[in-house]
Each structure stands twice: as structure tokens, then as C-alpha cells.
Structure 1
Amino acid sequence: MLPGTMLRHRERLGDAVLRCLETRMHIQGRSPRQLHVFDDPNRDERGWVLTVTHLDVLPLAELELGLRHGHAKLSPVTGIPGLPFGHDAIIAWAVDVVREKYSQEPDPWDLLGSRFTVTQLRELHDAVLGQPHKKDTFRRRMEPHLDALEQRATPPGSNGLGRPARIYRKRSEGDRVGSIMAQV
């Protein structure tokens, strides 16, 4: 979504972002991070407008109120036709950042919650990347970033046959530093 707003007199940029999210999308309690400054003087035929973009990735459920009130429309990030004011470039930049972050970490925006299976994690990464990952390669790449829990999950609609999937959580930064030091 690309809600936008103008800064009010003496308003801080971060406050304007939060105000825009609340008034336009009914979203509170988020911490969007500055993404990039788009400053091409030819982006807007009305004049030179600086656009300071922010990025946050959140579960669909948090958008439902704004969508229900008609304040937003969901569209796939691929194939968006020529949006005005350079918004195509803004979306492409954001998609690249999100994909890069997901290529390095299990679930940087915690879309799956605190506990998940590797299959759920891979399906999330497949959706973010826009194409499937190889199961074994993905598991090997992610396991150093995960802690296996004693719990197991039976997939919804399962007939109970087969071994239930192991549940994982993301390894905390302190755990990763400790494991790296232990390996040295």
C-alpha cells in the first residue's frame, strides 16, 4: 500500500508516517523504517516533490479495517501498470529490500508468529520471492537461524498418518552469537 501525506508545520517525519497509517489505514503500534528518499525533479508534473518512503511488512489481518473502509486496495507487486509519481520505482525498491531481507533471515517481520514449521517458513519465503525454493537447500540455509522445539504439529486436514512436523522458533541474536563463539 502507498498511503501518503504531507508534513504539517513543525511535524517530525516519523510522526507524520504514524499519523498517516492511523488516519488512512487504522494501523497503530507499528514502527516503519525509512526506506529511501526519491528526489527526481521530474517525478511529479506539478513540481519538485521529495518523497521520503518508509517500509513495514505486516500480516494481512492488520490491513483488514483499512481495506473494509475502502482506504486501500491490494494488488500483486508484479505487473503493476505505470503508476503516477514514480510509484513503480518506489514499489520496486521496497520489494527488493523485503526480498533481500528474507534471503538473509528466517522471518524478519515475524509474519508467522513465534512458532512455525520449516514448511510454513519455506512457503512464506516462496511467496516473498515469487518462486519456490528447493526444500532441502532451504532447510539447510535456515536451520542455523532456528531453534527446534520439543513440540510437533499435525498439519490441518491431516489424516494423522506420518510423523508430525517439528516446530521451530527463530534463534535470538544472543543465541546466534553464543553458537558462533562455541563453533570457533
Structure 2
Amino acid sequence: MKSKTFINLLFLLPLFAFTACGQNKQPKESEKISSSNVISKPGNPYYSHTDTTKLKLSDAEWKKVLPEDVYLVMRQAETERAFTGKYWNTDEKGTYYCASCGNLLFRSTAKFSSSCGWPSFFEQQNKKSIVFKNDNSYNMERIEALCGRCGGHLGHLFDDGPEPTGKRYCMNSIALDFVPDNQ
């Protein structure tokens, strides 16, 4: 039985790495984070870098305020194609926020190069910024990482990261907004 599961895993693994479950398009000019709009996003009244109130919105409301590609990843738990996201191979200093609600998630000092094709971090900004749930989809046992404010799908947590935590937060770039330190 374990042999069959392993063979299924070998078959499915390339599908995760090389298929695009969600589109990976560039954000519209109005959705880009800059020094003039780090607190909110036009068209999304729930986006804030300062409000930490838990959000309980309907799926229909999220669909109205999020771009389709962000919605598919964050609300439908799809995954962007490996090695295509805008943050998988960057080392710029700054802060990463939830693309749905603006919740503070990571500092760039916790980012590392894991060569997995998605941005990886070894620790979250604070213990409430990300929450977790078991994910047994695709015949695999994983831990799903969700935004602690809006519950949006960010990626998964693995136990193969570097010290000091040994954790690898494997995130979808499209689920993150980045604000450089110099802004």
C-alpha cells in the first residue's frame, strides 16, 4: 500500500511544480503597493496594514474585491506555477503582507533561498500572523498556511527549513504584497 502511495506521489509531484492552477499575471497599476498606498488598496475596503480585526467575509464578497488570479489562490487554495511568481528569487529588504487583507506576514530577514520555486521563509512575523490547518488533498499530508486575519490560503508549512526554526513557509508569490524598506 505504501508503495502505491509513493508511486502516486511521484506522479503528482511534477503536476504541482509545473502546472498553473491559477494565472500568474502582473498586478494592475491600481493594485501595486507603493509608498502612497501601503495602508490600503483601491477597490478593496478590507485591505489595511494597520487593522488587525479578523475578517469574516462571504466568498461572493471576496470575489468582488480581489483580482481573479489572487482570488483563485487565496480563496480557492490554488497554487501558482513554480518559478513564475514575482518573489521566489528575490532578496530585497522589506516586509511581506497578505495580498487579500494587508496583514503583516513576514520580514525579508526571515526569507531564504530554498530552490523550490516559491518564496520561502523560516519564521512568520508573529504567532498570530499565520494560522495552520491539516491539508490532506492530493493524497498527501501537509500543513496549510492561512492568513491569521482573513483566512486566505498562502501556501504550506514544511519541516525542512534552515535553523533556527527548521521550518519552511512555502508561499505563493501572488498571495503576498511586498513593501521595500526604502519606502
TM-score normalised to structure 2 length: 0.27
Larger Rg: 1
Task: Considering fraction of residues, name the structure with more strand.
Answer: 2
Give the structure, 1 or 2, with the largest relative contact order (CA under 8 Å, sep 6 or more): 2
Q: Which has the higher helix share?
A: 1
Provide the TM-score with structure 1 as the length reference.
0.27
